[in-house]
Amino acid sequence: MTNSPWLTVRSAAEYAACHPNTIYNALYSGELVGHKKKGKGKRGHWRISEAAIDSWLSGDIAPGQKRRLRSA
């Protein structure tokens, strides 16, 4: 998709064909692995690899992610 291996939230949403809020929700819940680069103030900029998006879309565990057990 790009020359860089890292995607922004907006470009990750385009890649995954979903809304950027879906990406944010997956990042904050731990379903999707990304790295938050510190910016000015409290706000930072997320960077997500295409491999992490592919794993998330296929339901696999992304590299470095632990499977979370859900209570019934």
* Total number of domains constituting the chain: 1
Whether 12 is covered by a domain: the verdict is yes
Whether 65 contacts 57, CB under 8 Å: no
Query: What is the chain's length?
Result: 72
65 within a domain of the structure (yes/no): no
Report the run of H or E that residue 56 belongs to, with start and end: helix 50-58
Q: Answer yes or no: is 71 within a domain.
A: no
CB atoms within 10 A of CB 26: 20
Tens-digit pLDDT profile for residues 13-22: 999 999 999 9
For residue 25, give its domain range: 6-58
- Note whether residue 25 is domain-resident: yes
Higher pLDDT, 11 or 70: 11
Tens digit of pLDDT for each residue in 49-67?
999 999 999 987 655 555 5
Q: Specify if 63 maps to a domain.
A: no
Q: Kindly state the greatest CA–CA separation across the chain.
A: 43
Q: Tell me how far CA of residue 43 lies from CA of 2, 37, 38, 54, in angstroms.
A: 25, 9, 7, 26
